[in-house]
Amino acid sequence: MQLLRRCFFVIIGMCYFYSPLHATERTTGPFKCSQARDYWLGFPHGYDEKKTYWLVVAVHGAGGNGDSMKGYSFPGPRDDYIVVAPSFPDGKQEGYYQLLQGNSDVQLIKLFQELKGKYRLHDQLFLYGFSGGSQYSHRFTMTHPAIVVGCSAHSGGSWGPEINKKAMGIPLFFSCGLDDTSPSVPGALPRIEEAEKYFTQIQASGMLAKQRYWQGIEHSPGPQGGKVTIGLLTAECYELATTGLFPKQRQAWDEERKKFEGLIAQGSIEEAKKFLRTLQKYKFPMPGPKIPTWISLNPQQQVEQRKIFIEMGIGGKSKLGRDFWINDSNENEYGWNESPGSRAAQSQGQRSIYIRNELKVMQEMLPKK
Cα angle for residues 164, 95, 82 (degrees, 5° grid): 65
In a shared domain, residues 346 and 262: no
Whether residue 131 sits in one domain with residue 81: yes
> Within 13 Å and on the Cβ side, how many CA atoms surround 164?
16
- Please state which of the ranges 21-35, 97-111, 115-129, 187-201 shows the lowest mean pLDDT: 21-35
Question: Where is average pLDDT lowest: 224-228, 251-255, 282-286?
Answer: 224-228
pLDDT above 90 covers what percent of the chain? 79
Q: Are residues 135 and 275 in the same domain?
A: no
How high is the mean pLDDT of the chain? 90
The answer to whether 182 and 161 have CB atoms below 8 angstroms apart is no
Q: CA separation (Å) from 311 to 109, 171, 229, 315?
A: 38, 22, 10, 8
- Classify residue 238: in a domain, yes or no: yes
Would you state the pLDDT for residue 92?
A: 73
Predicted confidence (pLDDT) at residue 18 exceeds the cutoff of 70: no
Identity of the residue numbered 126: F
Overall domain count for the chain: 2
State which of 264, 286, 308 marks the end of a domain: 286
Q: Quote the pLDDT of residue 24.
A: 62
Does one domain contain both 236 and 260?
no
228 and 155 housed in the same domain? yes
- Of the candidates 230, 261, 286, which is a domain's last residue? 286
Residue 208 has pLDDT above 70, yes or no: yes
CATH of the domain at 151: 3.40.50.1820
Is the pLDDT at 128 greater than 90, yes or no? yes
Q: What is the pLDDT of residues 171-194, one digit of tens each?
A: 999 999 999 999 998 999 999 999
In whole angstroms, what is the distance from residue 130 CA to residue 144 CA? 19
Report if residue 182 sits inside a domain: yes
pLDDT of residue 228: 86
Same domain flag for 270 and 168: no
Are 277 and 182 part of one and the same domain? no
Q: How many CA atoms lie within 13 A of 172 on its CB side?
A: 32
Do 143 and 282 lie in a common domain?
no
Q: What is the mean pLDDT of residues 106-123?
A: 97
Q: Is the pLDDT of residue 264 over 80?
A: yes
167 belongs to a structural domain: yes
Global pTM exceeds 0.75: yes
Tell me if 312 is assigned to some domain.
no
Tell me: pLDDT of 5 over 90.
no
What is the span of the domain harbouring residue 15?
Answer: 2-246+323-352
Annotate 260-274 with three-state secondary structure.
HHHHHHHCCHHHHHH
> Residue 22 pLDDT > 60, yes or no?
no
Residues 155 and 24 in one domain: yes
Q: Identify whether 124 is part of a domain.
A: yes
180 plus 328 within the same structural domain: yes
3-state SS of the chain: helix, strand, coil percent to 5? 40, 20, 40
pLDDT (average), residues 234-258? 93
Both 125 and 273 in one domain: the answer is no
Say yes or no: 121 and 264 in one domain: no
DSSP 291-331: SS-GGGS-HHHHHHHHHHHHHTTSEEE-TTSSEEE---TTB
